[in-house]
Chains A and B, each alone.
Chain A
């Protein structure tokens, strides 16, 4: 008797819900299901590393012969865009300032980004990962703001570009002492490359 009554109720609720909502026509799977039919499947995954240790400026230096005994060199630097299609190198720098090369490691000192938006000096100071090879090339990866943010535009996060031994680069003559100039070219995107001009003195 009670069972029939309950069935009645369920049937009524079936009708009312299927009129208002597009419930599947086959109701048998959906409604008369018991609470504990839902199963909890435990998870077997284990954490391998404690943190997601991955830096955007990770770079494989093993392909290069890094010069780590070289001493100190202090350089003024400026990075400019080299437009691919026209071959023109722009007159206005993306960023300029000073850097130090010590024992093969590049450290950015006082410098300023001109690109506005989110660019500020903490990016290169904290994240840059550049080294000097025995032939005087700078290799590694840095954050790089490649566009000027104008009025009316939202800012963009930096790209991360890799300096390799670009065919246009002119390496630092590390045996000289004063007034050493160099060019480090880097591929950026389809529209332009970057050129870092350097003027260095041994310290």
Chain B
């Protein structure tokens, strides 16, 4: 591959036909970090070359989403309580309610569009990395919140400090719901004391988020935190978050789901986490996240993950050390950290295996194929063989709107190499060729990318354009692995 494509494969999504291929790829990549991010895509596959901004209606705010979830739940409840309905009639009405009120399907499609039509491809890559690091899976109301989380907690904070992103992520209702913190109540809080007076009342601490905050999001088990640290973290977190679809904000005197600290559920007293004293009150969480963000174990843990994802499959300690150094020097400035990652990715000549979802976006962009539906097309019976975005990501093995484990998808190549995963690549390539109308021939693409002779030999050795297309997309070069 030419240097531009090589780099764009590692840290970006490759170049669409309308993109000029930059000559100074490093300059371009750094510049990309400041590009404005827009939600663009297509309205309908019948007008696939009209790329425009998604309608405002489909970009609801957090309070609008809370209202939608409330409506969703209200009707769900009503339908489920209606004794006159048979199970099937109930399923029917529930499904219509889902389609009407659940923003999740549009969010998932918009995520696909953002990547396929991206002008800010490098930012999209970093955004997906962090969204996976701070995994939020589907759990109750999070289905209507994940889209907002990815945009507002992650993408919007790519150029601030890691500490800031960590705080925003931890307090976002999606995370607080997903890891059950909305149910967590300090054992010595006013609420708990009140509750204990009543036999039927049961509340208590839930340590799910507390544990994952330390284990997965920041310092990792290498820091040798103890159960006391986990418990103390849970105590700091107690009181954060409310159940999004219940009209409770007003009840607690709050106005914003993202800033929802319910003081009567908070644990009083000072807590000790990894040697740091965290005082009671709303600021406690801020102090904790700052402490964790600047912790050496956090830096090492995350530098390693960044290297594994962007730089090389075989992680080199020199790369980890470099990123840690920049982290420390910049005080955790994500833009500088990302710049460092880009530098190391360019410097490393080793190939980097790409996730199935990234591979798909890259294939669609360089071939200019229209594989995902437009926002106006979904829920319509198009009698088309195309799959919904939901089905596509499920089949790839990488859905971001699914019941997931909080540790997210591995960036390690060996996880993704199996007969079934590779068969998917062959099948998806064929499906794209058959149904998504690629606008470039294999030869044109090979010329533009500047593939090496091994790839050319593979493709040219086959007859039929479809076979060539499949072989090109499944070649070592396009997958980001070493050739044979």
A188 within 8 A of B: yes
With a cutoff of 8 Å between Cβ atoms, the chain A residues found around residue B91 in the complex are 189-190
Residues A151-170 near B (CB distance < 8 A): 152
B38 within 8 A of A: no
With a cutoff of 8 Å between Cβ atoms, the chain B residues found around residue A150 in the complex are 385
Stretch at the interface among B92-100, B145-153, B289-297: B92-100
Assembly CA distance A152 to B431 (angstroms)? 9
B88 within 8 A of A: yes
A103 within 8 A of B: no
Our pick among A85, A152, A187 for the contact of B88 (Cβ within 8 Å) is A187
Q: Is the CB of B95 within 8 A of A190?
A: yes
With a cutoff of 8 Å between Cβ atoms, the chain A residues found around residue B427 in the complex are 152
Closest chain A residue to B93, Cβ basis: A190
Assembly CA distance A152 to B429 (angstroms)? 12
Q: Is the CB of A85 within 8 A of B89?
A: no
With a cutoff of 8 Å between Cβ atoms, the chain A residues found around residue B88 in the complex are 187-190
Q: Is the CB of A187 within 8 A of B86?
A: yes
Closest chain A residue to B379, Cβ basis: A85
Closest chain A residue to B385, Cβ basis: A150
B interface majority secondary structure: helix
A11 within 8 A of B: no
A84 within 8 A of B: yes
User: Nearest chain B CB to A200's CB is how many angstroms away?
Assistant: 27
A41 within 8 A of B: no
Contact with B along A188-202 (1 / 0, CB 8 A): 111100000000000
A187-B86, A190-B88 given; A85·B96 CB < 8 A: yes
Assembly CA distance A188 to B95 (angstroms)? 14
User: Nearest chain B CB to A70's CB is how many angstroms away?
Assistant: 28
With a cutoff of 8 Å between Cβ atoms, the chain A residues found around residue B89 in the complex are 187
Assembly CA distance A188 to B88 (angstroms)? 7
User: Nearest chain A CB to B385's CB is how many angstroms away?
Assistant: 7
Assembly CA distance A190 to B99 (angstroms)? 12
Our pick among A84, A188, A190 for the contact of B94 (Cβ within 8 Å) is A190
Q: Is the CB of B92 within 8 A of A84?
A: yes
Our pick among B86, B95, B385 for the contact of A191 (Cβ within 8 Å) is B95
Residues B359-400 near A (CB distance < 8 A): 385
Assembly CA distance A32 to B91 (angstroms)? 58
User: Nearest chain A CB to B82's CB is how many angstroms away?
Assistant: 15
User: Nearest chain B CB to A187's CB is how many angstroms away?
Assistant: 4
Residues B69-103 near A (CB distance < 8 A): 86, 88-89, 91-92, 94-96
Assembly CA distance A162 to B89 (angstroms)? 14
With a cutoff of 8 Å between Cβ atoms, the chain A residues found around residue B96 in the complex are 85
Assembly CA distance A62 to B431 (angstroms)? 51
Residues of B with Cβ closer than 8 Å to A? 86, 88-89, 91-92, 94-96, 385, 427, 431
18 residue pairs of the A-B complex, CB under 8 angstroms, read A84-B92, A85-B96, A150-B385, A152-B427, A152-B431, A187-B86, A187-B88, A187-B89, A188-B88, A189-B88, A189-B91, A190-B88, A190-B91, A190-B92, A190-B94, A190-B95, A191-B92, A191-B95
Residues of A with Cβ closer than 8 Å to B? 84-85, 150, 152, 187-191
